[in-house]
Chain A
Amino acid sequence: MSAVIEVTGLRKAYGSNEVIKGIDLSVESGEVISLIGPSGSGKSTILRCLNQLETATGGTIVVDGFDLTDKKVDINEVRRHIGMVFQHFNLFPNMSVIENIMLAPVETGKKNKSEARAQAQALLERVGLGDKADARPSQLSGGQKQRVAIARALAMEPNIMLFDEATSALDPEMVGEVLEVIRELAKSGMTMVLVTHEMGFAREVCDRVVFLSDGVICEQGSPEEVFGNPQQPRTKEFLSKVL
């Protein structure tokens, strides 16, 4: 299998403050990786560079064959292949649940309204919220909101999914329902990059774990290697605090 994400020498600075200091990362098709590390280590920034919510200040990012640093590339087209799930859900409060999911397929001309509605309903069933189609986002619990957000991202039928701390803003009793949906996605063969603090979950579903510290990759490997037998002192120190 070839790499669907190929990051080379990625750098990102805010003014004089460099937060990503040269990252090489490649993700194979169907691979599930998680980025872990202390806060401020640059996990989320890397994730946001992958769909250009942040513009890299150096290096190249090739996603699905598109070179994101090439100005001629239509970033909107690239983003339609990459689903993103945010920590704070970011559902559109001016629309009903099903309208949230239908918006992108209809607006980008991918589907007509009735196709989009049928697909959205199917996606809601898949995340266990078939009866919430006409609810407003404000009427949902945090866990439900995040499941809708996942359905919304899936509506564009992406081949890559990015999860930016998808469970961090949830009450503990709602984390499980969201992780269950992500677990199902992983089993279906979706290529996924997760930024997460759920170490147990990362160990369970991921093919590879990448430990970041101070804007560089400190250590990476299978969950067994990284969690079971960390090599770097900083990895050990971090894991001892969170496990």
Chain B
Amino acid sequence: MHLTQPRRGLRALVAGSLAAFLLLVGAAPATAADEQNGVEGKSFIIATDTTFAPFEMFKGGEVAGIDMDLLKAIAESQGFEFEVQSLGFQAALSAVTSGQADGVIAGMSITDERKEIFDFSDPYFDSGVQMAVAASDDEIAGYDDLEGETVVAKSGSEGLAEAQKLSEEYGFTVKALDQSATMYESVKNGSAVAVFDDYPVLAYGIAQGNGLKVVTDKIPGGQYGFAVAKGENQDLLEAFNTGLAELKESGEYDRILDTYLADPESASNGTFLDVVADSMPALMKGLWNTLRITIVAFIIAMVLGIAFGFMKISTSRILRGIASVYVAVFRGTPVLVWAFLFYFGLPQLTGVKGDIFWAGAATLALNAGAYLTEIIRGGLRAVDPGQMEAARSLGLGWGKSMQRVIVPQAVKISTPAMINQFVITLKDSSLLLTIGFAELLYQAQQIYSVNFRTTEMLIIVGIMYFIVITILTWIANTIDKKVNK
């Protein structure tokens, strides 16, 4: 069933592409199609998954993999440029439908449901789902052994669909997870007995020593396609198809696939120190992004906190009300909701492409600003009212009294809580990996999705966070002691 449907769609697609192609050729008396392909010299944003080796993977801080190499070769032959955004699978799809990205290539199976929202290219890979278990597992040898057990598959993937289809017949439970590395870890640690994943992905992971083994035959089906939002970027789709055909003809296509599937070089044979050394450049880049966005967000948050903090102690009921609503809204909603809203939702409403750094910074700033509002209000309130009376009795105005007498004391009272909030914001910034912001934890995920050294990477990142936060806290406390004697 799953076999025929994509093919029917495929035929329609090919026919459509062909018609468009002929139209193009007929309309212009050009000799070479790629001079008239409408993408020449243009630049596109292509969204992709973060963790789908060997289709998407990070190598030396760069996105590599079958998808990337194909895209690069096609872009070269068709004369367009592209910028890759590694967002994670679901986020990559959202990015395209929301107009944040022009196209998506993410080892994405062509399905009827997806064709409702996307226009697909010609399939560039014939995949298929396979089941793998822990290498040490001698009990699960086929679907028959799965009764009463739990298996994992990737959210929104063919693997999940296949597993769900089989689950009724064989009586097992399917749990959806977001990343290949997480799925493999849960099989290794026993929280699931098996994983359903696309066979090239499994094969690559096993070659990298992810500790699994394949126990079933490949379920055929699942063709991968490049996609654009329905009705949009047809030139790009066209160029992809033309380029793909050229690659297949020239043999470049097979060469690219062989690089990753025939004999992938293993990345995981190093010691812990090798892992640290190999990953450090990417992790330092992530750390820099973490610090950058935290500091920018915290500065904005301080401005918000001061503004709303003063509004909270104002005599105006309206100003107090506005500040209270702000605090209630941003304290009462999860950071992630706003991250998604700012990065994916807002562009859909406004039609303006969002910038990931500012979407992330705004998310953190508005959240921290709400807490800082309360911290600053508390600090101002904690100053003895007699201080204001004394300043006013000397003939100073309200503003001068605040500036010279109340605020310096309030700052002193609030500083420890502010430092605390800074640390919380720094840690919260890791949530931005969900929209694809390349901060520290995101970089770690990129790395362990390729080398499968999940535990080690998490330990390294944990230590890095700890060291940075300890140093920053120490600096802040030292300044606090010097300034607020």
Using a CB–CB distance below 8 Å, which chain A residues touch chain B?
51, 53, 76-77, 79-80, 82-84, 86, 88, 90-94, 103-104, 107-108, 136, 149, 152-153, 156
Contacts and interface: CB of A to CB of B under 8 A. Distances in A.
Given A94-B408, A94-B409, A94-B412, A104 B396 contact: yes
B386 A107 contact: no
Contacts of B404: 92, 103, 107
Given A90-B384, A94-B405, A103-B404, A77 B395 contact: yes
Contact of A80 (B389, B390, B395): B395
Nearest to A77: B395
Contacts of B390: 84, 86, 90-92, 149
A149 B387 CA distance: 12
Mostly, the B contact residues are helix
Contacts of B391: 92, 103
8 contacts: A53-B392, A82-B393, A83-B393, A90-B390, A92-B387, A92-B409, A94-B409, A108-B396
Given A82-B393, A156-B395, 8 more contacts: A76-B395, A79-B392, A90-B384, A90-B387, A103-B391, A103-B394, A136-B485, A153-B394
Contacts of A107: 396, 400, 404
B397 interface: yes
Residue among B390, B404, B412 facing the most chain A CB atoms (10 A cut-off): B390
Interface string B371-414: 00000000000001011011111111100100011001100100
Contact of B386 (A77, A80, A83, A90): A90
A152 B389 contact: no
A88 B389 CA distance: 11
A93 B384 CA distance: 11
Interface of B: 384, 386-387, 389-397, 400, 404-405, 408-409, 412, 485
A92 B404 CA distance: 9
Nearest to B389: A53
Contacts of B386: 86, 88, 90
Nearest to B485: A136
Nearest to B384: A90
B393 A53 contact: yes
B395 to A, nearest CB: 4
A92 B405 contact: yes
B396 to A, nearest CB: 6
A108 B387 contact: no
A90 B389 contact: yes
Nearest to B394: A104
Contacts of B485: 136
A90 B187 CA distance: 67
A107 B485 CA distance: 23
Contacts of A88: 384, 386
Contact of A156 (B389, B394, B409, B412): B394
A108 B404 CA distance: 12
A86 B389 CA distance: 9
A23 to B, nearest CB: 21
A108 B400 CA distance: 9
A158 to B, nearest CB: 9
Contacts of B405: 92, 94, 103
A49 to B, nearest CB: 13
A123 to B, nearest CB: 14
Contacts of B394: 79-80, 103-104, 152-153, 156
A165 to B, nearest CB: 13
A83 B409 CA distance: 23
A93 B391 CA distance: 12
A100 to B, nearest CB: 9
A71 to B, nearest CB: 16
Contacts of B400: 107
Contacts of A108: 395-396
A84 B393 contact: yes
A201 to B, nearest CB: 23
Residue among B384, B394, B409 facing the most chain A CB atoms (10 A cut-off): B394
A83 B393 CA distance: 7
B397 A76 contact: yes
Contacts of B393: 51, 53, 79, 82-84, 153
A93 B392 contact: no
A94 B394 CA distance: 17
Nearest to B408: A94
A83 B387 CA distance: 15
A94 B318 CA distance: 32
Given A92-B387, A92-B390, A76 B396 contact: yes
Contacts of A80: 394-395
A153 to B, nearest CB: 7
A79 B395 contact: yes
A16 B390 CA distance: 28
B46 to A, nearest CB: 56
A92 B386 CA distance: 10
B261 to A, nearest CB: 69
